[in-house]
Chains A and B, each alone.
Chain A
Amino acid sequence: MAEYPKLVLPDIPNLRNIDTYLANGGYGEAMRKVYSMAPAAVTDEVKKSGLRGRGGAAFPTGLKWSFMPKGKEKKKYFLINGDESEPGSFKDRQIFEFNPHQMIEGILIGCYAMQIDQAYIYIRGEYAHWVKMVERAVAEAYAKGFIGERMKDNFKPSGEGVGYSVDITVHKGAGAYIVGEETAMMDSLEGKRGYPRFKPPFPANHGLWGQPTTINNIETMANVPVIMKMGGEAYSKIGDPKQPGTILFGVSGHVNKPGVYELPTGTPLLDIINNHAGGVPNGKKIKMVIPGGSSMPPLRGDKLEGVLMDAEHLKEVGSAIGTAGIMVMDEDTDIIHVLTRISKFYWHESCGQCTPCREGTGWLLKLLRRFEASNARPEDIDLLYDVAKNIEGRTICALGEAAAWPVYFTIERFREDFEKRVKPGLELHSPERVHGLRKGGLEPVQVRIPVVVRV
């Protein structure tokens, strides 16, 4: 296997300890460089690197930073998203455990670029153990004067940075997937129920406590010091040019070596599954792969050849990079059961503010349970599709899409599996009837010629 650069999780024993981190150049070159630059130039460097967020939406990080109002007159906040609750995702946890200081350094750099003096790291409550690890790392960095008042003596920023210091607070969540959504996280941090907010206003204008706020993912932050060290241009040449860098791919499900693998963007999916994660147990074929956490459109096992793992290439094959949590399912998997479980999750996690999401997720689950019990009516396939399509785009936050995508893409790509679960003896629909069911404005689905299926 070829050697890849490991930027976020290098193979250095005990790197979580601040002394080891310092011995390996931490809080050093990158920070000195940053503090000798004007804040806007730091943002430009991140822009040049092409770094895109690792939290799910792959939004360009430098661009996001540039939306923040300049200067220090206004109180501004930096919120770091460590909620990591999307099923199939377990990569931010590795950063907490193995390289927390690089994430902290990234936060400090982001704070300087946007002239923010207050940052919060929000970590899901289930990660209690890892919350303690991050708290320890933050305390170590305070003790050495890399965070807090003593930054003023340790680093001597020129010009706009004079007398500059940052406070970082670790905040522990209490169990709610929806809090991973950026505006819900703001409500939660303010001590409320985590309800997503309407946008606009966008967080860069009106975020935490009504002040300008930027929110980034943990892994995104851990990439920033690397960029400042090697320069934006060098970073932009790693991996796929449209989404440069490395990604922590979390591989789970039916593979011999599940785990997190740091690889350049654009690595072939089959290379990750077969070579890095050790292939499928017992040499079985793959039936389905979800490439980016459970809300991303699933791919057919027979269509994985040539699929490259980065935002743009996955879009081309009708999926998305999401959190890069790759879930592999072998040929014996009951994907109706899998999909039912996924729908149960989104139904459970819907915050209930929007009717299409609150009611629709329940409907999806109810219909899927009919298929699970091989008790569906022929028209239920299209009804299910219809319900999913009617959630998409009609909600406050993207949990609506997260619930809808897996369902209707699975119908499009694995229709035969649904047909097999129609109640035995019932005739499958004719194409005309299917179209009669569908309301205007929907994309056409592939309708199969009617056959009688007996299970």
Chain B
Amino acid sequence: MAIFSNAELQEISELQKRYPEPAATLLPVLWRLQEKRGWIDDEAMEAAAAVCQVPKSHVQGVVSFYTMFFDKPMGRYHVQVCTNVSCMLRGGEELLATMKNKLGIQNLEHTPDGLFSIEEVECMGACGGAPMMAVNETFFEKISKEEANDVIDHVLAKDEIPKPKFVAQMPELTEAANR
């Protein structure tokens, strides 16, 4: 059960020095596991329980509480569309329908090849850039249905997430384009 390499275990133990109890690193440890394996399976839970010194049942409880931890396999490209109020007012629901249609899957499902999954999400803190969608960690704001389709096509063609066009949330802070 060598899920973590020695170097990673070393890193985790460094991190644990920043907290009075090893249990506090459960979220960071689960993040590492999900990055490595795509989702948190049984083996991953056991590994997390061991390094954080908590019972496995505790890990299961935590994984099921937080929506960003997956307890089943998801696509390598996880498409998230916000339909909360600010996005809804600017077409978030239509965007979600377009994406479901494009990918041919329903909420929290993944495509048979494991490439894409889709999730209707709550407010992502991009309300000024509504409607928005995210692919893994990358936000696409003020995105039209056509542009969203293009994002998917780009992933299909190049197996990478395209660079989002820049959207100023602070209209007065123009320098942001360099991010």
Name the distance in Å between A326's Cβ and chain B's nearest Cβ: 10
Q: Contacts A98-B170, A193-B61, A349-B122 known; A87 to B86 CB distance under 8 Å? A: yes
Is residue A90 contacting chain B, with contact meaning CB distance below 8 A? yes
Bound CA–CA A258/B178 (angstroms): 21
Q: Is A408 an interface residue (CB 8 A)?
A: no
Chain B 61-90, CB within 8 Å of chain A: the 1/0 string? 110011111000000000000011110111
Within the assembled complex, what's the spacing in Å between the Cα atoms of A19 and B18?
27
Flag if A129 contacts B138 (CB, 8 Å). Answer: yes
Q: Is A348 an interface residue (CB 8 A)?
A: yes
Q: In the bound complex, do residue A126 and residue B138 qualify as a contact, i.e. CB atoms below 8 Å apart? A: no
User: With A176-B67, A253-B90 in contact, do A124 and B125 touch (Cβ < 8 Å)?
Assistant: yes
User: Is the CB–CB distance between A191 and B26 below 8 Å?
Assistant: yes
Known: A97-B176, A128-B137, A329-B89. A259 touches B171 (CB 8 A): yes
Which A-chain residue is minimally distant from B142 (CB atoms)? Answer: A258
| B21:A190 contact, CB within 8 angstroms | yes
A13 to B178, CA, bound (A): 10
Binary B-proximity of A190-214 (CB < 8 A = 1, otherwise 0): 1111100000000000000100000
CA distance A260 to B126 in the complex (A): 11
The reply to whether A97 and B179 contact each other, CB–CB distance below 8 Å, is yes
B-facing residues in A204-243 (Cβ within 8 Å): 209
* Residue B143, interface by CB 8 Å: no
Q: Are the C-beta atoms of A209 and B123 separated by less than 8 Å?
A: no
Our pick among B25, B121, B168, B175 for the contact of A191 (Cβ within 8 Å) is B25
Q: Are B66 and A171 in contact (CB under 8 A)?
A: no
B12 beta carbon closer than 8 Å to chain A: no
Is A174 located at the chain interface by the 8 A CB criterion? yes
Best-buried of A191, A192, A338, A342 by chain B (most CB within 10 Å): A191
Segment of B2-10, B128-136, B148-156 engaged in the interface with chain A: B128-136
> Is A188 in contact with B27, judged by CB distance below 8 angstroms?
yes
Instruction: Evaluate contact between B134 and A126: CB separation under 8 angstroms.
Output: yes
The answer to whether A90 and B169 touch across the interface, beta carbons within 8 angstroms, is yes
Give the nearest-CB partner of B30 in chain A. A174
Per the bound structure, the CA–CA distance linking A257 and B167 in Å amounts to 11
Contact A260 B128 (CB under 8 A): yes
User: What is the distance, in angstroms, from B62's C-beta to the closest C-beta of chain A?
Assistant: 6
In the assembled complex, B52 has its CB within 8 A of some CB on chain A = yes
Q: Does chain A have a CB within 8 A of B11?
A: no
Instruction: Determine if A190 and B127 form an interchain contact, defined as CB atoms under 8 angstroms apart.
Output: no
Contact A169/B18 with A190-B23, A191-B27, A253-B89 known, Cβ cut-off 8 Å: yes
Chain A residues within 8 Å of B25, by CB: 191
Q: B97 on the interface (CB 8 Å rule)?
A: no
Q: How far is the CA of A169 from the CA of B16 in the complex (A)?
A: 11
Is A254 in the interface zone, CB < 8 Å from B?
yes
CB distance B85 to A177 under 8 Å?
A: no
In whole angstroms, what is the CA distance A176 to B63 when docked? 11
Inter-chain contacts of A327 with B (CB < 8 A): 85-86, 89, 127
Q: A190 to chain B: which residues have CB within 8 Å?
A: 21, 23-24
Residue in contact with B128 in the complex, picked from A87, A209, A258, CB distance below 8 Å:
A258
Given contacts A126-B134, A345-B84, 5 further A-B contacts (CB under 8 A): A14-B178, A88-B85, A92-B125, A176-B66, A338-B88
Enumerate 25 A-B pairs (CB-CB under 8 Å) in ascending A order: A14-B178, A84-B125, A85-B122, A85-B123, A86-B123, A87-B122, A87-B123, A89-B123, A94-B173, A98-B170, A124-B125, A125-B68, A127-B125, A129-B137, A172-B27, A173-B68, A190-B23, A192-B23, A194-B65, A253-B130, A258-B128, A259-B128, A260-B170, A338-B88, A341-B84
Point out residues on B near A: beta carbons under 8 Å: 18-21, 23-28, 30-31, 52, 54, 58, 61-62, 65-69, 83-86, 88-90, 121-130, 134, 137-139, 168-176, 178-179
